[in-house]
């Protein structure tokens, strides 16, 4: 997402990427995991803490993390012996922008309110 003159412009996203990301988030466990990571902020969360918060087995967590990583929604970084997971906020912004950027365009939205004129 980028800003200019008080307006927000979202990074363009192709329909295939959006569909894949929405499909990944369509699984309740992955959506819960993603929500936990988004709430954790830019510092991310160690895998063990994510597992504890979700109350799921490590193998299940790993499976769901791999899908979110593959779709570019989550990243991982090793810090010494700890694996940190983070939401990729630009990807989240792009997906949200893709869904909202042409909202009500055929009704003639007011730029000031984002609602139909």
pLDDT digit string, tens, across residues 31-72: 999 999 999 999 999 999 999 999 999 999 999 999 999 999
Q: What is the pLDDT of residues 7-30, one digit of tens each?
A: 444 456 889 999 999 999 999 999
pTM of the model: 0.80
**Which tokens go with 39?**
């709430």
- List CB contacts of 11: < 8 A, sequence separation 6 or more: 1, 2, 90, 93, 94, 97
CATH number for region 2-100 = 1.10.10.10
Q: Where are the domains of the chain?
A: 2-100
Q: What is the pLDDT of residues 52-63, one digit of tens each?
A: 999 999 999 999
- List CB contacts of 47: < 8 A, sequence separation 6 or more: 58, 61, 65, 76, 82, 83, 84, 85
């Amino acid at each position: 997402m980028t800003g200019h003159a008080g307006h927000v412009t979202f990074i363009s996203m192709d329909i295939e990427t959006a569909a894949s990301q929405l499909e990944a988030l369509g699984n309740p466990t992955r959506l819960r995991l993603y929500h936990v990571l988004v709430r954790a902020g830019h510092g991310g969360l160690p895998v063990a803490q994510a597992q504890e918060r979700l109350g799921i087995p490590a193998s299940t967590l790993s499976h769901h993390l791999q899908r979110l990583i593959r779709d570019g929604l989550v990243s991982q970084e090793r810090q010494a012996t700890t694996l940190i997971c983070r939401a990729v906020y630009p990807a989240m912004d792009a997906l949200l922008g893709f869904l909202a950027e042409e909202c009500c365009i055929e009704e003639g939205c007011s730029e000031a309110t984002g609602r139909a004129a």
